[in-house]
Amino acid sequence: MTQVVLVTDTWWKVVDVESADEVVDVEGMSWERDGTHPGNLAAGDRPSEIPPEVPRYVPSVGA
């Protein structure tokens, strides 16, 4: 198991998944790995409470 963070415009949640693939199905939705990297984010782009060390996933466009 590995931890990832699911991020939407209004909430975020750290969850355990079998593996951090490009797309994961969890919480009843499909999520895709966010292509941004912490070093490239503008100030304020990521809420400070979100753990920066876990992979970030956003709702899948194809979902």
pLDDT tens, residue by residue, 6-60: 999 899 999 999 999 999 999 999 999 987 555 444 445 556 788 888 999 999 9
pLDDT computed for residue 46 by the predictor: 58
pLDDT computed for residue 26 by the predictor: 95
Positive or negative CA dihedral for 55, 35, 58, 22?
A: negative
What pTM did the predictor assign?
0.75
pLDDT computed for residue 36 by the predictor: 54
pLDDT computed for residue 30 by the predictor: 96
- Residue 5 has, within 13 A of its CA and on its CB side, a CA count of 15
**CB 7: neighbour CB atoms within 10 A?**
18
Q: Which residues are CB-contacts of 52 (< 8 A; sequence separation ≥ 6)? A: 38, 46
Domain locations in the chain as residue ranges: 2-59
